[in-house]
């Protein structure tokens, strides 16, 4: 069946069975119909339902005539009658939903073509504003919010909040978001909830290790999909680190092939656990924000609407358009990550470098003002966690193997510090009482 025939069959179904209008109006938007006449009919039906009227054929014809945009002459009324005769033969809920999805898929493809055509036309133009607008529009589209009203009633929001509280109670974890697996951090953050979460540290402190450890906990132990965007390390490097961290086999030994039989058993066990986990990695150095949104949306769709966490490592080396100063580029990239989090309804953990001169201070400890190249990142963030290891500036410290996590910003709870174990040889973070 062609796309137009599919649309006509669905509209005919509503005209033939006005009682089905409520379900279909809630399932598909009029603007997702490609055929002009079908779109006009669905707009009219939607308006009638919102005003409490039953969209019977005569009522629909009168409403369209009074609208003034489409005069309903005899031939137009005849077309309505024809549509009613072309109704769906299979009117089961499953088939109606399938037809709606087919129409929405066609609409999505049309919208993709439109955006790509605009982007192509903008190539070569010195128009940063156009780039930003199209990029933002693409993000909203891929997240499925192109047809959103742009506002919600307080009743709808409160209902969602009530459902969230009940979900927390039923989970038994006491956490509002996904667990990081590091108990002191979870106690401070109540897990990672929807929003942008920055983890920041100077080079060599282990921020990538911390993020990947958390991602593995979400994917392996909570069985929630995790999408890792690695601008710094290759997928092979990441997979090696993950296997070593999960098997507790020293990274150096693994790379040199110097492992005992007992360690090899642990590696094999870890490999099988990782292989079954919904953990996805992209190491493309030029992966743009729209592409991240698109890939994350696909992963979420593949797993029935579930997506536990997106990790981006790290912000300052992400691809950014030319023509703006560095602070503006980083700020725009950060804002794009926040848009992805909001539109997909997922926690995004973004890693950031800190200014190296912070290590010259007397105590060497970072603050939120040390975020490298853009303070706008802190404004975008739901939480900002700063990682510090005293052995970096002070090799002889008694706190070797201990990392400090400072919650510099937390929109949903307290700020403060917690100390955790850092086992550099694996590499892996854990609680001081044991391995996470």
Helix then strand then coil, % of the chain, to nearest 5: 55, 15, 35
Domain residue ranges of the chain, discontinuous segments joined by +: 3-123, 178-430
Half-sphere exposure for 93 (CA within 13 Å, toward CB): 2
Same fold for the domain at 3-123 and the one at 178-430? no
Q: What are the pLDDT digits (tens) for 1-23?
A: 567 888 888 888 888 888 888 77
Architecture of domain 178-430 in CATH? Answer: 3-Layer(aba) Sandwich (3.40)
The Cα-based distances of 290 to 97, 120, 251, 408 in angstroms read 28, 15, 34, 29
For all residues of the chain together, what is the average pLDDT? 80
**Residue 279 β-bridge partners:** 226
The Cα-based distances of 95 to 29, 40, 416 in angstroms read 18, 23, 54
Q: What are the pLDDT digits (tens) for 253-268?
A: 888 888 888 988 988 8
Percent of the residues in the chain that have a pLDDT greater than 90, as a whole number: 13
Q: Which residues contact 73 (CB under 8 A, 6 or more apart)?
A: none
Tell me phi and psi for residue 53, to 5 degrees.
Answer: -100, 150
CATH 1.10.860.10, applies to 3-123: yes
How confident is the chain (436 residues) per 10-residue block, as mean pLDDT?
80 86 80 87 82 80 67 63 78 84 84 68 54 59 51 68 63 74 88 91 87 93 93 89 89 85 89 89 84 84 88 83 72 84 89 76 74 76 90 85 90 87 87 62
Q: What are the pLDDT digits (tens) for 413-430?
A: 888 899 999 988 888 898
Cα–Cα distance between 353 and 143 in angstroms, integer?
28
């Amino acid at each position: 069946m062609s796309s137009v025939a599919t649309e006509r069959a669905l509209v005919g179904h509503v005209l033939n069975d006005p009682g089905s209008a409520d379900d279909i109006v809630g399932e598909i938007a009029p603007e997702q119909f490609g055929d002009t006449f079908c779109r006009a009919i669905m707009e009219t039906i939607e308006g009638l339902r919102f005003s409490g009227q039953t969209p019977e054929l005569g009522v629909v014809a009168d409403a369209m005539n009074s609208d003034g945009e489409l005069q309903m002459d005899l031939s137009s009324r005849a077309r309505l009658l024809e549509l009613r005769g072309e109704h769906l033969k299979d009117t089961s809920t499953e088939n109606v939903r399938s037809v709606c999805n087919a129409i929405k898929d066609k609409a999505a493809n049309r919208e993709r073509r439109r955006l790509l055509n605009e982007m192509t036309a903008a190539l070569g133009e010195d128009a940063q504003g156009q780039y930003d607008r199209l990029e933002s529009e693409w993000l909203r589209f891929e997240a499925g919010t192109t047809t959103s009203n742009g506002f919600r009633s307080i009743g709808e929001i409160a209902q969602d909040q009530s459902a969230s509280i009940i979900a927390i109670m039923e989970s038994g974890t006491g956490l509002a978001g996904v667990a990081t697996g590091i108990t002191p951090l979870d106690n401070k953050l109540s897990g990672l909830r929807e929003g942008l979460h920055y983890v920041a540290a100077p080079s060599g402190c282990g921020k990538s290790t911390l993020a990947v450890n958390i991602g593995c906990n979400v994917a392996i132990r909570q069985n929630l999909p995790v999408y890792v965007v690695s601008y710094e390390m290759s997928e092979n490097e990441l997979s090696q680190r993950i296997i070593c961290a999960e098997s507790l086999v020293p990274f150096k030994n693994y790379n040199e092939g110097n492992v005992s039989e007992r360690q090899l058993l642990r590696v094999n066990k870890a490999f099988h656990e990782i292989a079954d986990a919904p953990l996805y990695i992209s190491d493309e150095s030029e992966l743009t924000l729209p592409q991240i949104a698109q890939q994350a949306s696909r992963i979420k769709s593949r797993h029935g609407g579930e997506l536990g966490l997106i990790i981006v490592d790290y912000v300052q080396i992400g691809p950014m358009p030319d023509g703006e100063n560095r602070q503006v580029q980083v700020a725009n990239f950060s804002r794009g990550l926040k848009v992805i989090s909001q539109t997909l309804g997922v926690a995004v953990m973004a890693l950031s470098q800190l200014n190296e001169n912070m290590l010259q201070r007397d105590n060497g400890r970072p603050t939120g003002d040390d975020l490298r190249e853009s303070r706008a990142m802190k404004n975008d963030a739901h939480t900002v966690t700063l990682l510090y290891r005293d052995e970096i500036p002070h090799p002889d410290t008694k706190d070797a193997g201990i990392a400090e996590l400072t919650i510099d910003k937390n929109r949903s709870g307290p700020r403060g510090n917690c100390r955790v174990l850092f086992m550099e040889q694996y590499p892996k973070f854990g609680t001081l009482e044991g391995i996470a």
